[in-house]
Structure 1
Amino acid sequence: MTPFLEVERRGRIAILRMDRPDALNAIGTIEDCDNIVDTLFELGNDRSVHAAILTGKGRAFCSGGNIKGIKERRGIGPLDQPDSTRANYRRGVQRTTRAFLDSEIPIIAAINGHAIGLGLDLACLCDIRIASETAKMAASFIKVGIVPGDGGAWTLSKIVGYSKAAELFLTGDTFDAAYARQIGLVGEVTPADGLLDAALAMAERIAANPVRALRLTKRLLRESQHSRADDVLELSAAYQALVHETKDHVEAVTAILEKRAPTYTGD
Protein backbone atom coordinates (compact mmCIF):
# COMPACT_ATOMS: atom_id res chain seq x y z
CA MET A 1 0.00 0.00 0.00
CA THR A 2 1.19 3.52 -0.73
CA PRO A 3 2.22 5.71 2.23
CA PHE A 4 -0.61 7.71 3.75
CA LEU A 5 1.26 10.96 3.08
CA GLU A 6 2.62 11.86 -0.33
CA VAL A 7 5.48 14.34 0.08
CA GLU A 8 6.33 16.93 -2.56
CA ARG A 9 9.17 19.41 -2.12
CA ARG A 10 9.01 22.89 -3.60
CA GLY A 11 12.25 24.45 -2.51
CA ARG A 12 12.05 25.18 1.22
CA ILE A 13 8.41 24.06 1.41
CA ALA A 14 7.12 20.50 1.84
CA ILE A 15 3.59 19.72 0.61
CA LEU A 16 2.06 16.76 2.46
CA ARG A 17 -0.95 15.25 0.69
CA MET A 18 -3.11 12.67 2.43
CA ASP A 19 -3.36 9.96 -0.21
CA ARG A 20 -6.49 7.89 0.38
CA PRO A 21 -8.92 9.75 -1.92
CA ASP A 22 -11.19 6.72 -2.42
CA ALA A 23 -11.74 6.63 1.36
CA LEU A 24 -11.99 10.44 1.64
CA ASN A 25 -8.54 10.33 3.23
CA ALA A 26 -9.81 8.57 6.34
CA ILE A 27 -7.07 7.29 8.64
CA GLY A 28 -7.71 3.57 8.93
CA THR A 29 -4.61 1.80 10.18
CA ILE A 30 -1.77 2.02 12.65
CA GLU A 31 0.50 2.07 9.60
CA ASP A 32 -1.17 5.29 8.44
CA CYS A 33 -0.39 6.84 11.82
CA ASP A 34 3.18 5.54 11.71
CA ASN A 35 3.68 7.12 8.30
CA ILE A 36 2.51 10.52 9.55
CA VAL A 37 4.79 10.29 12.59
CA ASP A 38 7.80 9.15 10.56
CA THR A 39 7.26 11.82 7.90
CA LEU A 40 7.12 14.65 10.44
CA PHE A 41 10.22 13.28 12.17
CA GLU A 42 12.19 13.05 8.92
CA LEU A 43 11.20 16.55 7.83
CA GLY A 44 12.08 17.89 11.27
CA ASN A 45 15.61 16.56 10.84
CA ASP A 46 15.96 18.39 7.52
CA ARG A 47 16.90 22.01 8.17
CA SER A 48 16.24 22.89 4.53
CA VAL A 49 12.50 22.54 5.26
CA HIS A 50 11.27 25.96 6.40
CA ALA A 51 7.50 25.33 6.19
CA ALA A 52 4.99 22.63 5.29
CA ILE A 53 1.45 22.40 3.91
CA LEU A 54 -0.96 19.60 4.86
CA THR A 55 -3.82 18.92 2.45
CA GLY A 56 -5.83 16.06 1.00
CA LYS A 57 -6.09 14.41 -2.40
CA GLY A 58 -9.48 14.31 -4.05
CA ARG A 59 -12.58 15.95 -2.62
CA ALA A 60 -11.78 15.60 1.10
CA PHE A 61 -9.18 16.95 3.47
CA CYS A 62 -9.68 14.03 5.89
CA SER A 63 -12.98 12.40 6.79
CA GLY A 64 -11.65 11.17 10.14
CA GLY A 65 -11.35 7.56 11.21
CA ASN A 66 -12.48 4.58 9.17
CA ILE A 67 -16.07 3.88 10.31
CA LYS A 68 -16.08 0.35 8.87
CA GLY A 69 -12.89 -0.42 10.75
CA ILE A 70 -14.45 0.88 13.97
CA LYS A 71 -17.48 -1.38 13.52
CA GLU A 72 -15.28 -4.38 12.79
CA ARG A 73 -12.93 -3.56 15.72
CA ARG A 74 -9.79 -3.29 13.65
CA GLY A 75 -7.45 -0.47 12.77
CA ILE A 76 -7.02 2.61 14.93
CA GLY A 77 -10.16 2.31 17.08
CA PRO A 78 -11.64 -0.33 19.40
CA LEU A 79 -10.11 -3.78 19.73
CA ASP A 80 -11.16 -6.86 21.72
CA GLN A 81 -10.88 -5.43 25.26
CA PRO A 82 -10.88 -1.92 26.83
CA ASP A 83 -7.21 -2.13 27.83
CA SER A 84 -6.28 -3.09 24.26
CA THR A 85 -8.35 -0.20 22.89
CA ARG A 86 -6.65 2.25 25.26
CA ALA A 87 -3.23 1.04 24.13
CA ASN A 88 -4.35 1.23 20.50
CA TYR A 89 -5.33 4.90 20.82
CA ARG A 90 -2.06 5.74 22.54
CA ARG A 91 -0.08 3.82 19.93
CA GLY A 92 -1.96 5.25 16.94
CA VAL A 93 -3.88 8.52 16.78
CA GLN A 94 -2.44 9.93 20.00
CA ARG A 95 1.10 9.28 18.78
CA THR A 96 0.12 11.19 15.65
CA THR A 97 -1.14 14.08 17.78
CA ARG A 98 2.11 14.16 19.74
CA ALA A 99 4.11 14.20 16.50
CA PHE A 100 2.29 17.34 15.35
CA LEU A 101 2.67 18.97 18.76
CA ASP A 102 6.38 18.13 18.84
CA SER A 103 7.09 19.29 15.28
CA GLU A 104 8.84 22.66 15.11
CA ILE A 105 8.15 23.10 11.39
CA PRO A 106 5.45 25.73 10.71
CA ILE A 107 2.57 23.78 9.17
CA ILE A 108 -0.35 25.22 7.19
CA ALA A 109 -3.54 23.19 6.81
CA ALA A 110 -5.03 23.70 3.33
CA ILE A 111 -8.54 22.36 3.99
CA ASN A 112 -9.67 21.38 0.50
CA GLY A 113 -12.86 19.53 1.45
CA HIS A 114 -14.49 17.63 4.29
CA ALA A 115 -12.56 17.79 7.59
CA ILE A 116 -14.56 15.62 9.94
CA GLY A 117 -13.81 14.34 13.45
CA LEU A 118 -10.18 13.28 13.49
CA GLY A 119 -9.76 15.15 10.21
CA LEU A 120 -10.79 18.43 11.80
CA ASP A 121 -8.48 17.74 14.72
CA LEU A 122 -5.56 17.20 12.31
CA ALA A 123 -6.24 20.64 10.85
CA CYS A 124 -6.32 22.09 14.36
CA LEU A 125 -2.87 20.61 15.06
CA CYS A 126 -1.48 22.77 12.26
CA ASP A 127 -0.36 26.32 13.02
CA ILE A 128 -2.37 28.11 10.34
CA ARG A 129 -5.57 27.02 8.59
CA ILE A 130 -6.81 28.09 5.15
CA ALA A 131 -10.03 26.60 3.78
CA SER A 132 -11.66 26.20 0.41
CA GLU A 133 -15.05 27.87 0.27
CA THR A 134 -16.50 24.42 -0.45
CA ALA A 135 -15.02 22.81 2.69
CA LYS A 136 -17.28 21.28 5.33
CA MET A 137 -16.16 20.62 8.90
CA ALA A 138 -17.49 18.90 12.00
CA ALA A 139 -16.29 17.89 15.46
CA SER A 140 -18.69 14.99 15.11
CA PHE A 141 -17.41 12.25 17.43
CA ILE A 142 -20.68 12.46 19.36
CA LYS A 143 -22.58 11.46 16.21
CA VAL A 144 -21.00 8.01 16.38
CA GLY A 145 -21.35 7.79 20.15
CA ILE A 146 -17.71 8.37 21.10
CA VAL A 147 -15.49 11.13 22.52
CA PRO A 148 -12.55 12.88 20.79
CA GLY A 149 -9.90 10.29 21.62
CA ASP A 150 -7.11 12.11 19.79
CA GLY A 151 -6.79 15.13 22.08
CA GLY A 152 -9.09 17.36 20.07
CA ALA A 153 -10.91 18.57 23.19
CA TRP A 154 -7.68 20.33 24.17
CA THR A 155 -6.69 21.54 20.71
CA LEU A 156 -9.99 22.95 19.47
CA SER A 157 -10.73 24.81 22.71
CA LYS A 158 -7.31 26.50 22.46
CA ILE A 159 -8.30 27.86 19.05
CA VAL A 160 -11.95 28.87 19.42
CA GLY A 161 -12.37 29.01 23.22
CA TYR A 162 -14.12 26.64 25.61
CA SER A 163 -17.72 27.66 24.96
CA LYS A 164 -17.55 27.43 21.18
CA ALA A 165 -15.57 24.17 21.32
CA ALA A 166 -18.22 22.77 23.67
CA GLU A 167 -20.93 23.75 21.19
CA LEU A 168 -19.13 22.07 18.29
CA PHE A 169 -18.32 18.87 20.17
CA LEU A 170 -21.63 18.49 21.99
CA THR A 171 -23.82 19.09 18.93
CA GLY A 172 -21.55 17.45 16.36
CA ASP A 173 -23.05 19.84 13.81
CA THR A 174 -21.49 20.24 10.37
CA PHE A 175 -20.52 23.79 9.40
CA ASP A 176 -19.05 25.53 6.39
CA ALA A 177 -15.85 27.46 5.77
CA ALA A 178 -17.51 30.85 6.22
CA TYR A 179 -18.63 29.88 9.73
CA ALA A 180 -15.18 28.46 10.47
CA ARG A 181 -13.69 31.83 9.63
CA GLN A 182 -16.31 33.64 11.69
CA ILE A 183 -15.34 31.71 14.84
CA GLY A 184 -11.60 32.03 14.19
CA LEU A 185 -11.02 28.39 13.28
CA VAL A 186 -9.60 29.31 9.86
CA GLY A 187 -7.84 32.50 8.94
CA GLU A 188 -8.69 32.64 5.25
CA VAL A 189 -11.30 31.22 2.87
CA THR A 190 -10.47 30.93 -0.84
CA PRO A 191 -12.10 29.62 -4.01
CA ALA A 192 -11.44 25.90 -4.39
CA ASP A 193 -9.08 26.36 -7.33
CA GLY A 194 -7.03 28.96 -5.46
CA LEU A 195 -6.53 27.10 -2.17
CA LEU A 196 -3.10 25.60 -2.78
CA ASP A 197 -1.82 28.85 -4.29
CA ALA A 198 -2.97 30.73 -1.19
CA ALA A 199 -1.32 28.17 1.08
CA LEU A 200 1.90 28.30 -0.95
CA ALA A 201 1.92 32.10 -0.82
CA MET A 202 1.62 31.97 2.97
CA ALA A 203 4.29 29.27 3.19
CA GLU A 204 6.66 31.33 1.03
CA ARG A 205 6.24 34.33 3.34
CA ILE A 206 7.14 32.09 6.28
CA ALA A 207 9.93 30.23 4.50
CA ALA A 208 11.67 33.49 3.60
CA ASN A 209 12.78 33.78 7.23
CA PRO A 210 15.72 32.12 9.06
CA VAL A 211 14.88 28.47 9.73
CA ARG A 212 16.31 28.20 13.26
CA ALA A 213 14.44 31.28 14.41
CA LEU A 214 11.28 29.98 12.72
CA ARG A 215 11.38 26.67 14.53
CA LEU A 216 12.18 28.14 17.93
CA THR A 217 9.45 30.74 17.51
CA LYS A 218 6.95 27.96 16.84
CA ARG A 219 8.17 26.09 19.92
CA LEU A 220 7.68 29.23 22.02
CA LEU A 221 4.14 29.59 20.70
CA ARG A 222 3.38 25.95 21.54
CA GLU A 223 4.87 26.19 25.03
CA SER A 224 3.01 29.45 25.67
CA GLN A 225 -0.32 27.64 25.33
CA HIS A 226 0.11 25.86 28.63
CA SER A 227 2.93 27.63 30.53
CA ARG A 228 3.10 30.44 33.08
CA ALA A 229 4.38 33.79 31.87
CA ASP A 230 7.51 33.42 34.01
CA ASP A 231 8.28 30.07 32.40
CA VAL A 232 7.82 31.50 28.90
CA LEU A 233 10.11 34.42 29.73
CA GLU A 234 12.84 32.02 30.88
CA LEU A 235 12.46 29.91 27.75
CA SER A 236 12.43 33.02 25.56
CA ALA A 237 15.73 34.17 27.05
CA ALA A 238 17.28 30.74 26.44
CA TYR A 239 16.07 30.57 22.84
CA GLN A 240 17.17 34.15 22.22
CA ALA A 241 20.66 33.28 23.43
CA LEU A 242 20.76 30.49 20.87
CA VAL A 243 19.57 32.45 17.84
CA HIS A 244 21.84 35.41 18.61
CA GLU A 245 24.75 33.07 17.84
CA THR A 246 23.47 31.98 14.41
CA LYS A 247 24.98 33.22 11.17
CA ASP A 248 21.49 33.95 9.86
CA HIS A 249 20.91 36.44 12.68
CA VAL A 250 24.15 38.22 11.80
CA GLU A 251 23.12 38.21 8.14
CA ALA A 252 19.67 39.62 8.95
CA VAL A 253 21.12 42.51 10.94
CA THR A 254 23.82 43.20 8.35
CA ALA A 255 21.27 43.18 5.50
CA ILE A 256 19.06 45.70 7.32
CA LEU A 257 21.99 48.03 7.90
CA GLU A 258 23.19 47.65 4.31
CA LYS A 259 19.66 48.12 2.96
CA ARG A 260 19.62 44.88 0.95
CA ALA A 261 17.77 41.56 0.93
CA PRO A 262 19.27 38.95 3.27
CA THR A 263 20.69 35.63 2.09
CA TYR A 264 20.09 32.92 4.68
CA THR A 265 21.99 29.63 4.84
CA GLY A 266 20.33 27.92 7.81
CA ASP A 267 23.49 28.32 9.90
Structure 2
Amino acid sequence: MSDLVTLSVEDHVALITLNRPEVRNALNFPAYDQLERHLKTASADPEVRCVIVTGTDPAFCSGDDVREIMAAPKPAVAPPPVVKHKPTPAAMAALDCEKPMIAAINGAAIGWGMELALFADIRIASEKARFAEMFIKRGLICDVGGFYRLPAIVGPAKAAELLFSGDIIDAAEALRIGLVSEVVAHEALLDRARAMAARIAVNPPLALRYMKEGLRRTAYGDPHEIGSWAIETIRLLMKTEDHREGVASFLEKRAPVFSGR
Protein backbone atom coordinates (compact mmCIF):
# COMPACT_ATOMS: atom_id res chain seq x y z
CA MET A 1 0.00 0.00 0.00
CA SER A 2 1.37 3.42 -0.90
CA ASP A 3 2.14 6.03 1.74
CA LEU A 4 -1.10 8.02 1.76
CA VAL A 5 -0.05 9.34 5.16
CA THR A 6 3.61 9.50 6.16
CA LEU A 7 5.35 9.48 9.52
CA SER A 8 8.87 10.64 10.35
CA VAL A 9 10.56 11.30 13.70
CA GLU A 10 13.41 13.73 14.32
CA ASP A 11 14.64 15.33 17.54
CA HIS A 12 11.71 13.90 19.55
CA VAL A 13 9.14 15.38 17.14
CA ALA A 14 6.89 13.20 15.00
CA LEU A 15 5.74 14.68 11.70
CA ILE A 16 2.56 13.13 10.27
CA THR A 17 1.78 14.29 6.74
CA LEU A 18 -1.34 13.62 4.71
CA ASN A 19 0.00 12.74 1.28
CA ARG A 20 -2.72 12.69 -1.39
CA PRO A 21 -2.05 16.11 -2.97
CA GLU A 22 -3.78 15.15 -6.23
CA VAL A 23 -7.11 15.17 -4.33
CA ARG A 24 -6.16 17.92 -1.85
CA ASN A 25 -5.37 15.27 0.77
CA ALA A 26 -8.93 13.97 0.88
CA LEU A 27 -9.17 10.86 3.05
CA ASN A 28 -10.28 7.51 1.69
CA PHE A 29 -10.53 4.39 3.86
CA PRO A 30 -6.85 3.36 3.47
CA ALA A 31 -5.74 6.92 4.32
CA TYR A 32 -7.93 6.92 7.43
CA ASP A 33 -6.36 3.60 8.46
CA GLN A 34 -2.83 4.91 7.94
CA LEU A 35 -3.59 8.13 9.83
CA GLU A 36 -4.98 6.14 12.77
CA ARG A 37 -1.97 3.83 12.80
CA HIS A 38 0.58 6.67 12.68
CA LEU A 39 -1.18 8.60 15.45
CA LYS A 40 -1.13 5.52 17.67
CA THR A 41 2.53 4.84 16.83
CA ALA A 42 3.55 8.41 17.68
CA SER A 43 1.57 8.32 20.91
CA ALA A 44 3.21 5.06 22.02
CA ASP A 45 6.77 5.91 20.94
CA PRO A 46 8.84 6.90 24.01
CA GLU A 47 11.16 8.92 21.75
CA VAL A 48 8.31 11.19 20.62
CA ARG A 49 7.48 14.18 22.80
CA CYS A 50 5.43 16.28 20.36
CA VAL A 51 3.46 15.57 17.18
CA ILE A 52 2.95 17.83 14.15
CA VAL A 53 0.15 17.05 11.70
CA THR A 54 0.15 18.72 8.27
CA GLY A 55 -0.63 18.08 4.62
CA THR A 56 1.32 18.01 1.38
CA ASP A 57 0.63 21.26 -0.50
CA PRO A 58 -1.73 22.59 -1.73
CA ALA A 59 -4.07 21.57 1.10
CA PHE A 60 -4.15 20.45 4.71
CA CYS A 61 -7.10 18.08 4.24
CA SER A 62 -10.23 18.55 2.13
CA GLY A 63 -12.18 16.00 4.17
CA ASP A 64 -13.64 12.71 3.03
CA ASP A 65 -12.91 11.62 -0.53
CA VAL A 66 -16.44 12.15 -1.89
CA ARG A 67 -16.02 9.79 -4.84
CA GLU A 68 -14.46 6.94 -2.86
CA ILE A 69 -16.49 7.19 0.35
CA MET A 70 -19.76 9.09 -0.09
CA ALA A 71 -20.48 8.27 -3.74
CA ALA A 72 -19.09 4.73 -3.72
CA PRO A 73 -21.50 2.12 -5.14
CA LYS A 74 -23.28 0.00 -2.55
CA PRO A 75 -22.01 -3.58 -2.28
CA ALA A 76 -24.09 -6.29 -3.91
CA VAL A 77 -24.05 -8.29 -0.68
CA ALA A 78 -25.15 -6.58 2.50
CA PRO A 79 -22.22 -5.91 4.85
CA PRO A 80 -22.19 -7.42 8.33
CA PRO A 81 -23.97 -5.42 11.04
CA VAL A 82 -22.00 -2.42 12.26
CA VAL A 83 -21.05 -2.47 15.92
CA LYS A 84 -22.81 0.42 17.63
CA HIS A 85 -21.36 3.02 19.94
CA LYS A 86 -17.90 3.15 18.36
CA PRO A 87 -16.53 6.61 17.47
CA THR A 88 -14.48 7.18 14.32
CA PRO A 89 -11.19 5.30 14.98
CA ALA A 90 -8.91 7.99 13.50
CA ALA A 91 -10.70 10.67 15.52
CA MET A 92 -10.24 8.78 18.74
CA ALA A 93 -6.60 8.02 17.91
CA ALA A 94 -6.03 11.78 17.59
CA LEU A 95 -7.96 12.65 20.74
CA ASP A 96 -6.34 9.85 22.74
CA CYS A 97 -2.82 10.77 21.63
CA GLU A 98 -0.80 11.33 24.80
CA LYS A 99 1.69 13.70 23.20
CA PRO A 100 1.07 17.43 22.58
CA MET A 101 -0.16 17.87 19.01
CA ILE A 102 0.31 20.83 16.67
CA ALA A 103 -1.69 21.22 13.46
CA ALA A 104 0.32 23.06 10.79
CA ILE A 105 -2.56 24.06 8.52
CA ASN A 106 -1.07 24.80 5.12
CA GLY A 107 -4.27 25.15 3.07
CA ALA A 108 -7.88 24.05 3.01
CA ALA A 109 -9.10 22.29 6.18
CA ILE A 110 -12.59 21.30 5.12
CA GLY A 111 -15.07 18.86 6.68
CA TRP A 112 -13.09 16.12 8.40
CA GLY A 113 -9.98 18.14 7.61
CA MET A 114 -11.25 20.83 9.98
CA GLU A 115 -12.09 18.10 12.49
CA LEU A 116 -8.47 16.93 12.31
CA ALA A 117 -7.27 20.47 12.96
CA LEU A 118 -9.60 20.69 15.96
CA PHE A 119 -8.15 17.51 17.45
CA ALA A 120 -4.77 19.25 17.79
CA ASP A 121 -3.83 21.10 20.97
CA ILE A 122 -2.33 24.02 19.03
CA ARG A 123 -3.23 25.23 15.54
CA ILE A 124 -0.89 27.35 13.40
CA ALA A 125 -2.20 28.46 10.02
CA SER A 126 -0.60 29.47 6.79
CA GLU A 127 -2.00 32.65 5.23
CA LYS A 128 -3.46 30.30 2.60
CA ALA A 129 -5.48 28.27 5.12
CA ARG A 130 -9.26 28.00 4.80
CA PHE A 131 -11.67 26.33 7.19
CA ALA A 132 -15.21 24.95 6.92
CA GLU A 133 -17.39 22.49 8.81
CA MET A 134 -19.09 21.64 5.52
CA PHE A 135 -20.96 18.52 6.66
CA ILE A 136 -24.33 20.28 6.55
CA LYS A 137 -23.86 20.81 2.80
CA ARG A 138 -23.78 17.01 2.37
CA GLY A 139 -26.81 16.37 4.55
CA LEU A 140 -24.66 15.14 7.44
CA ILE A 141 -23.45 16.24 10.86
CA CYS A 142 -19.86 16.76 11.96
CA ASP A 143 -17.73 14.19 13.72
CA VAL A 144 -16.75 14.48 17.37
CA GLY A 145 -14.41 17.46 16.78
CA GLY A 146 -17.16 19.90 15.83
CA PHE A 147 -19.29 19.02 18.86
CA TYR A 148 -16.59 18.28 21.41
CA ARG A 149 -13.87 20.80 20.59
CA LEU A 150 -15.24 23.63 18.44
CA PRO A 151 -17.64 25.21 21.01
CA ALA A 152 -14.90 25.20 23.65
CA ILE A 153 -12.45 26.87 21.27
CA VAL A 154 -14.59 29.57 19.59
CA GLY A 155 -17.68 29.66 21.84
CA PRO A 156 -21.09 28.02 21.37
CA ALA A 157 -22.63 30.78 19.23
CA LYS A 158 -19.75 30.98 16.74
CA ALA A 159 -19.58 27.17 16.65
CA ALA A 160 -23.30 27.06 15.86
CA GLU A 161 -22.81 29.59 13.05
CA LEU A 162 -20.01 27.56 11.48
CA LEU A 163 -21.81 24.23 11.88
CA PHE A 164 -25.25 25.40 10.71
CA SER A 165 -24.01 27.41 7.71
CA GLY A 166 -21.09 25.34 6.46
CA ASP A 167 -19.45 28.64 5.51
CA ILE A 168 -15.78 28.85 4.58
CA ILE A 169 -13.62 31.24 6.62
CA ASP A 170 -10.10 32.39 5.86
CA ALA A 171 -7.02 32.39 8.07
CA ALA A 172 -7.53 35.96 9.25
CA GLU A 173 -11.06 35.19 10.47
CA ALA A 174 -9.84 31.96 12.07
CA LEU A 175 -7.29 33.99 14.03
CA ARG A 176 -9.88 36.60 15.01
CA ILE A 177 -12.25 34.02 16.53
CA GLY A 178 -9.47 32.06 18.24
CA LEU A 179 -9.65 28.98 16.04
CA VAL A 180 -5.89 29.28 15.39
CA SER A 181 -3.23 30.78 17.63
CA GLU A 182 -1.27 32.45 14.85
CA VAL A 183 -1.07 32.95 11.10
CA VAL A 184 2.29 32.93 9.33
CA ALA A 185 3.59 33.23 5.79
CA HIS A 186 2.96 30.04 3.87
CA GLU A 187 6.64 29.24 3.30
CA ALA A 188 7.40 29.72 7.03
CA LEU A 189 4.63 27.46 8.35
CA LEU A 190 6.44 24.19 8.88
CA ASP A 191 9.52 25.91 10.31
CA ARG A 192 7.28 27.75 12.78
CA ALA A 193 5.54 24.52 13.77
CA ARG A 194 8.88 22.75 14.20
CA ALA A 195 10.19 25.62 16.36
CA MET A 196 7.17 25.42 18.63
CA ALA A 197 7.42 21.63 18.79
CA ALA A 198 11.11 21.95 19.76
CA ARG A 199 10.19 24.32 22.61
CA ILE A 200 7.70 21.73 23.86
CA ALA A 201 9.92 18.68 23.33
CA VAL A 202 12.71 19.91 25.63
CA ASN A 203 10.36 19.56 28.60
CA PRO A 204 10.01 16.40 30.73
CA PRO A 205 7.91 13.78 28.90
CA LEU A 206 5.86 12.57 31.87
CA ALA A 207 4.94 16.09 32.92
CA LEU A 208 3.94 16.89 29.33
CA ARG A 209 1.70 13.84 29.22
CA TYR A 210 -0.11 14.79 32.42
CA MET A 211 -0.29 18.46 31.49
CA LYS A 212 -2.12 17.47 28.31
CA GLU A 213 -4.39 15.13 30.24
CA GLY A 214 -5.22 17.90 32.71
CA LEU A 215 -6.16 20.26 29.88
CA ARG A 216 -8.31 17.61 28.26
CA ARG A 217 -10.18 16.93 31.50
CA THR A 218 -10.80 20.58 32.37
CA ALA A 219 -11.38 22.11 28.93
CA TYR A 220 -13.15 19.35 27.04
CA GLY A 221 -14.24 16.36 29.14
CA ASP A 222 -14.78 12.87 27.72
CA PRO A 223 -15.25 12.63 23.92
CA HIS A 224 -16.33 8.97 23.76
CA GLU A 225 -20.05 9.43 24.39
CA ILE A 226 -20.51 12.30 21.92
CA GLY A 227 -18.31 10.47 19.43
CA SER A 228 -20.50 7.39 19.62
CA TRP A 229 -23.67 9.43 19.18
CA ALA A 230 -22.17 11.37 16.26
CA ILE A 231 -21.10 8.30 14.29
CA GLU A 232 -24.47 6.59 14.78
CA THR A 233 -26.25 9.73 13.59
CA ILE A 234 -23.96 10.05 10.57
CA ARG A 235 -24.79 6.45 9.62
CA LEU A 236 -28.49 7.28 9.83
CA LEU A 237 -28.15 10.48 7.76
CA MET A 238 -26.14 8.71 5.06
CA LYS A 239 -29.32 6.80 4.18
CA THR A 240 -31.34 9.97 3.50
CA GLU A 241 -32.28 11.55 0.17
CA ASP A 242 -30.77 14.86 1.28
CA HIS A 243 -27.37 13.23 1.74
CA ARG A 244 -27.56 11.68 -1.72
CA GLU A 245 -28.54 15.07 -3.15
CA GLY A 246 -25.67 16.79 -1.34
CA VAL A 247 -23.18 14.34 -2.83
CA ALA A 248 -24.72 14.41 -6.32
CA SER A 249 -24.80 18.21 -6.44
CA PHE A 250 -21.13 18.35 -5.42
CA LEU A 251 -20.09 15.90 -8.12
CA GLU A 252 -22.29 17.59 -10.73
CA LYS A 253 -21.08 21.08 -9.67
CA ARG A 254 -24.58 22.51 -9.14
CA ALA A 255 -26.59 23.96 -6.28
CA PRO A 256 -28.34 21.30 -4.17
CA VAL A 257 -32.09 21.11 -3.69
CA PHE A 258 -32.91 19.54 -0.33
CA SER A 259 -36.29 17.96 0.47
CA GLY A 260 -36.07 17.09 4.16
CA ARG A 261 -36.18 13.36 3.44
Scaled by the length of structure 1, the TM-score of the pair is: 0.76
CA 1:196–1:153 in structure 2 vs 1: closer, same or farther (change >3 Å)?
same
Contact kept? 2:116, 2:145, Cα under 8 Å: no
2:11 equivalent to 1:11: yes
Distance 1:206 1:71, change over 3 A: closer
CA deviation digits over 1:217-242, x for unaligned, max 9?
A: 101111223559xxxxxxxxxxxxxx
Structure with greater Cα Rg: 1
Gaps of 5+ in 1: 229-267
- 1:56-95 map, 5 Å: 56-73=55-72, 87=82, 94-95=88-89
Do structure 1's residue 197 and structure 2's residue 191 form an aligned pair?
A: yes
1:89 Cα deviation from its structure 2 partner = 9.6
CA contact (8 A) 1:8 1:14 kept: yes
Q: Tell me the amino acid that sits aligned with residue 41 of structure 1.
A: K
Q: What SS is found at the alignment partner of 2:150?
A: helix
Superposed counterparts of 1:4-153, under 5 Å: 4-29=4-29, 31-73=30-72, 87=82, 94-153=88-147
Native 8 Å contact 1:117 1:141 kept in 2:
yes
Q: Partner letter of residue 35 of structure 1?
A: Q
- Quote the offset at 1:33 in angstroms: 2.0
Change beyond 3 A, Cα 1:90–1:122 = farther
Query: Structure 2: which 5+ residue stretches go unaligned?
Result: 223-261
Question: How far apart, in 1, do the equivalents of 2:66 and 2:153 lie?
Answer: 27
In 2, the alpha carbon distance for the partners of 1:40 and 1:5 equals 10
- Higher relative contact order structure (alpha carbons within 8 Å, sequence separation ≥ 6): 2
Identity value in percent: 41
Say whether the 8 Å CA contact 1:101–1:222 is kept in structure 2. Answer: no
Name the stretch that deviates more: 130-139 or 219-228: 219-228
SS at match of 2:17: strand
Kindly report the root-mean-square deviation, in angstroms, between the aligned alpha carbons of the 2 structures: 2.5
Cα distance between partner residues in 2 of 1:147 and 1:85: 24
Distance 2:80 2:32 in 1: 15
- CA distances 1:94-138 after superposition (whole Å, capped 9, x unpaired): 111111111111010000000001000100000000000011111
* Offset from partner CA, 1:1-42 (integer Å, 9 cap, x none): 32332112221111111011111111111x322222221222
